[in-house]
Structure 1
């Protein structure tokens, strides 16, 4: 029924990767699997044009970007590589509430020679750091939250960002659910990814719902772009 049915309402279930006491070996394997999925689905590619535009508006000045709830940090590392290739000065950092995820991200950055710093911080602590970065970036985390928590996240990202907020996340739709079910099984054998992938789409927002979140969070003029594969990018720029 799930394969053929519609996804009319959000269904937020706890994802396995968010559970306390998760086996570290399995957690690391899941982060590697998610990195492959993010690479294939072009998460960094969808965010890059906006970061490039913001950087080019102030040439010669490094664009400071904070990747909030960065997980294994693969998106920020991919963006760092793009910035280096384009010759654009960019300072990238990532934070996550999971010490294991931050350690994993730091190790991966060292192996890749990527100059990206990762540190442990819950997104709710951002309120204590107003206007500390140019861009607050958040990829594939919004769907983990309740509606009220999602609005809180957007408000806090607005607080920490001097210039822009960029959100990349899933769109809730039947084709997206099918893609998540099939893609996680093709790209990784990790059971956490197999379970959490479809659950993530069940919990994702539609474009209209994401637009409403931005409105309730006080992000006037936010731009919402659908992108492949069944995702969206939300961009708000400070006037």
Structure 2
């Protein structure tokens, strides 16, 4: 999926099927309850940044959850890949969600800030320098919390994903890309070792790591 010459039709099918994968596996329901709801109850609304949003399904699902709970979140969903950006623009409009083709560094340069900065299944796509850059950008962009949700590497997760999700791979990159992603992802200790000391890793269900940073009030994050 990362290759610029990959088949666009299969890529778009992959984006279209990501909501199923993320709803079943990615744990955002629990993350929303643990991190978003307390902030929403305190503030009433949130400004959120989704880095590497792909087709934008996580941004839309979070906006729907907040609306059902009587709150509003404004999500800026960014991805540097024009193909992802164009796919997201074709999705049904969702109040409070807007898309932009951009890197996180561009928003830092613009002086933007958000209550929550997040990503989903993005970290394993980055090399060491890119990971350091995204985490540094996340610290600068958040005035609340940064939440980077990524796959946890294990032989069991590889086998179960292959067994359970091969049908979604038909005509798309879901299965093949998912297996490559699991192989490229971190164990919990590896991710903690790759992150700066002011970040910590939590288990996010059996298949994911959640890399978390809490901004310190008055420390220049806002």
Q: TM-score, normalised by structure 2?
A: 0.89
Specify whether residues 227 and 163 from structure 1 end up closer, same or farther in structure 2 by C-alpha distance, changes over 3 A only.
closer
Match of 2:220 in 1: none
Matched, 1:52 2:47: no
What is the Cα deviation at residue 191 of structure 1?
Answer: 4.2
Q: Distance in 1 between matches of 2:4 and 2:169?
A: 22
Specify whether residues 53 and 234 from structure 1 end up closer, same or farther in structure 2 by C-alpha distance, changes over 3 A only.
farther
Deviations 1:35-80 (A, max 9, x none): 211111144214312111222232x3x2100100000111111101
Q: Distance in 2 between matches of 1:167 and 1:103?
A: 23
3-state SS of 2:203 partner:
strand
Q: Distance in 1 between matches of 2:105 and 2:174?
A: 26
Deviation above 3 Å: which 4+ runs of structure 1? none
- Structure 1 window deviating more from structure 2 (67-76 vs 22-31): it is 22-31
Match of 1:10 in 2: none
3-state SS of 1:83 partner:
helix
Aligned partner of 1:115 among 96, 99, 105: 96
Q: Distance in 2 between matches of 1:129 and 1:211?
A: 29
Checking the alignment, whether the CA contact within 8 Å between 1:176 and 1:201 is kept in structure 2 is: yes
Checking the alignment, whether the CA contact within 8 Å between 2:73 and 2:96 is kept in structure 1 is: no
Structural mapping, 1:65-214, within 5 Å: 65-110=48-93, 113-214=94-195
3-state SS of 1:18 partner:
coil
- Structure 1 window deviating more from structure 2 (47-56 vs 93-102): it is 47-56
What is the Cα deviation at residue 175 of structure 1?
Answer: 1.0
Q: Distance in 2 between matches of 1:51 and 1:164?
A: 9
Give unmatched runs, 5+ long, in structure 2: 217-222
Match of 1:4 in 2: none
Checking the alignment, whether the CA contact within 8 Å between 1:77 and 1:109 is kept in structure 2 is: no
RMSD of equivalent CA atoms: 1.8
Checking the alignment, whether the CA contact within 8 Å between 2:114 and 2:142 is kept in structure 1 is: yes
Q: TM-score, normalised by structure 1?
A: 0.83
Match of 2:25 in 1: 41
3-state SS of 2:91 partner:
helix
What is the Cα deviation at residue 26 of structure 1?
Answer: 1.6
Specify whether residues 179 and 147 from structure 1 end up closer, same or farther in structure 2 by C-alpha distance, changes over 3 A only.
farther
Deviations 1:179-205 (A, max 9, x none): 232233033413422211111011101
Specify whether residues 237 and 57 from structure 1 end up closer, same or farther in structure 2 by C-alpha distance, changes over 3 A only.
farther
Higher relative contact order (CA 8 A, sep 6+): 1
- Structure 1 window deviating more from structure 2 (76-85 vs 191-200): it is 191-200
Give the aligned length.
215
Match of 2:202 in 1: 225
Q: Distance in 1 between matches of 2:163 and 2:150?
A: 18
